[in-house]
Each structure stands twice: as structure tokens, then as C-alpha cells.
Amino acid sequence: MRQIIKPSGPLKGEIIAESDKSISHRAVIFSALARGESVIRNFLLAADTLSSFSCMQQLGVEITRDGSFLRVQGQGIEGLKEPVDVLNCGNSGTTMRLLSGLLSARPFFSVLSGDSSLNKRPMKRIIDPLSSMGAVINARGKGNFPPLAIDGQNLTAVNYTLPVASAQVKSSLLLAALTADGETTISEPHKSRDHTERMLGSMGACIKEDGLTIRLIPGSDLEPQEFIVPGDVSSAAFFMVAAAIVPGSELMIKTVGINPTRSGIIEVLSQMGANIKIENQKIVSGEPIADLVVSGSRLKATEISGAIIPRLIDELPVLAVAMAVADGTSIVRDAGELRVKETDRIAAITGELNKMGIDAEATEDGFIIEGHPDCLQGARVDSHGDHRIAMSLAVAALLAEGETVISNPEVVDISFPGFWQELERLRN
């Protein structure tokens, strides 16, 4: 399939942000570990989170669904059952990495596999620390790539420092640590998203945070919860950038999660000159949320690196689009993790922006973009089978001269199934 996008006039109106992917994964996985019924409202109905949903069902958990409302009958961690077939994680790194930690400590055999993209993503980053806890995980490609075959064990506690900030690795280890033989300590170089700590903590797990270090003391039973999933700032980001770059736009994006470990995009876009008002702030299910009102203005270039990177890691492809139309040279450093996402996002976004007439250069750990308003040209571009690349290119196309044709646009279903319809609605 192909999606044809013509240049757009101002984007106006209101949009309710698509439900948060990271929190939806965690809600369905963690609920299954409690004893009793948890309910989840606004569960994200997208391919990635439905992978977690069906894997939990394969592990013997009873889950009923009415639209985006879920009831999960948890039987405690011990209630999980050996799956009779391979657990298919689809395109979802979060499903695979979180379940690897959980299943390493269950007394049964399980196999995790994924699609052609996921099966190329590195797993040594979880296998090494889990193995130091006593996990037995066999993997393809000298122990680095899925499928993963896990022979569950009683695990020992660990004291581990992550070489790179990663919420997936941190969460995988925290799940393994829930039933380990003592206190586990995990440190990261910069703070990555902290949904796991918040959610397990609210369920009664003994988790203590001290700066960049987290301690988990096993032994507490997890209590069932009502989870209300907020809007995903990573999905909202496409509309934030669209409203910021298309002159005359004003969009109200409602109920967006603004957890400080995720809100780097708001800071960087504001610093570039975008008008972003944060309204109706409140806390829902332990997460800060707000309505964002974003309007267009001329953007200026910026340089980003270090601690902000994990706080906007998934937003960097669409931020590259904002940088392409900002005045001056923008530089992103310390973002080598982008090379091991659903595709190599550094190569993909710079290569596709080049096709659209942008001077974008890939570096080992980021990119350099010579930005200028009015320089985007319509072109035939490729989503690389990556949802966030497809949506970023769609945002670029709004401001391009002439038509843009995006291949494989259905990949947005991974995180934002209604994206094309919402884009069409708001540009009218």
C-alpha cells in the first residue's frame, strides 16, 4: 500500500491523544501478576500492545475485553502457566524484553519470538544481566537475537549498572527481581521512563528510588488495581510537530501523559520556538497528564545530547522533521540507541529526509540537519516498516512542495491505528 499526502493548510481543532503504549503493555502484564481482578481503562488497541495481551493469555491469564476496557483475573506470579506454543511478540521489543525477565524466574520452559524486525534486535542487553541472576536463556546469533528459549529458574538478586539508559532492560530486571532471593539494585547512567517503578510501586512492590538507583526488595504480594491509561506523548508528538511547523495551525491535544521521564519533546520544541501551553494538569493513576495547546511559529535550530535523550528517544525522528524546517544547524548526539529500534532510525530518517531535499547527515550516534523553512520537497519515501518513521514522514509531507508518497503506511497500526484518519480530519 501507499499513502499520498498533499501539502496542508493550517491544522486546527482538538484531538484526544492515542493511549500510551508503554503503560498499556505494563498494565496488562503487571495486572496478571496480582491476586484478583484488575481493570484497565483506555488500553491501547494497537498491534504492539495486543501482542502483550495475547502472550499473557497464552500464559494462562484470563482477560476479557470490551473495546478498550479490560478485566484481568490475576492469579499471582505463581499462577502463570507454561505456554504450549511459542509466544509471538510481533514487532514489540517491550513485550519481548519485559516477558524475558518475568519468564526467566518461572518454573517452566517458554520461547519468545517476533517478526523479522524484532528478531534482528539485540537481546544480549537483557540476557547478560539476567544470566548473572542465574537465568538460562538460549538465543540465536551467538546468544544475541530472538527467538529466545527460556528455561525458568530460581534467581539470585543482582547489583547491576546499565551501560545505556533503557526502560525495557530496567523493567526486565525488575520483573525478574520480584521473586529473587534478596534485594536487587539497578542503576542507569540517565533516567529512562519510570512507569514500571510507579506501577509496581502502586501495586505494593517494595521499590525504592534514590537518584539513578532503584532497589527492589522481593516478597510483597502485588495487589490488583484500576489502571487508567493516559494519552501517549510519543503519539501526540506527531501532531505537536505538525502544529508547530505548519503556519497558522492551532491544535489542542487532550489528556497527554507528561511524565517528566517522557516529556523532553515539550521542552525541546518550546526551546526551538514552538508555542506550547500546558493546561488542565492533573494526576491520573499515578501519572501526570495535561492538555497541550500547540500553535505554529518559526522554529530555530537546536543541539541536544546527554540526559535529555532517553526522555525523547522515540520522538527523535519527528524532531528531525522540526529541525529540517528550523533556521540553522541542529545536532543530535548520544542517541546511538536509535540504530537498534524497529529499524535503524538514524539511517532511515536522514535518508528519507535527503529524498525530500533536506541536508541531513547521519552520524554514529545521531544526526546533523541544516534546516531551512520552505525547503521540503515532496518525494517517494519509505517507512522502512517502522511506525514512527511513517508518521514522521507524513508530518514532513504536510509542509513539502508537491505530493509525497509513503510506502507501507499501514505500519502505523503498531502504535497509532487511527493516525491517517486523524491527520485527514485535522487538516480540513
Which residues have CB under 8 Å from 292's CB, separation 6+? 236, 240, 252, 253, 256, 258, 266, 276, 277, 278, 279
The answer to whether 70 touches 43, Cβ cutoff 8 Å, is yes
The answer to whether 270 touches 295, Cβ cutoff 8 Å, is no
Closer to ligand S3P by Cβ: residue 139 or 246: 139
Q: What does the binding site for ligand S3P look like in residue numbers (CB under 6 A)?
A: 22, 94, 166-168, 171, 192-193, 313-314, 337
147 bridge partner residues: none
Residue at 335: amino acid letter = A
Q: Is 314 a catalytic residue?
A: yes
Q: Measured from the CB of residue 399, what is the shortest distance to ligand S3P in angstroms?
A: 26
Say which of 20, 48, 314, 334 is annotated catalytic.
314
- Kindly report the number of other CB atoms within 10 A of residue 154's CB atom: 11
Closer to ligand S3P by Cβ: residue 291 or 334: 334
Residue at 379: amino acid letter = A
Angle of helix 195-202 versus helix 167-177 axis, rounded to 10: 30
Radius of gyration of the chain (CA): 21
Phi and psi, residue 33, nearest 5° = -90, -10
CA neighbours within 13 Å on the CB side: how many for 371?
25
Residue 85 in grid coordinates: 506454543
String of DSSP letters for 3-64: EEE------EEEEEPPBPHHHHHHHHHHHTTSEEEEEEES---SHHHHHHHHHHHHTT-EEE
String of DSSP letters for 268-307: HHHHTT-EEEEEEEEEETTEEEEEEEEE----B--EE-GG
Q: Greatest CA span in the chain, whole angstroms?
A: 62
Q: In which residue are the cell numbers 518475568 written?
A: 102
d(CA 18, CA 20): 7
Which residues have CB under 8 Å from 407's CB, separation 6+? 1, 2, 380, 381, 382, 383
d(CA 252, CA 312): 20
Give counts: helices (H), strands (E), the chain.
Answer: 13, 23
The answer to whether 415 touches 238, Cβ cutoff 8 Å, is no
Q: Measured from the CB of residue 193, what is the shortest distance to ligand S3P in angstroms?
A: 6
The catalytic residues are 314
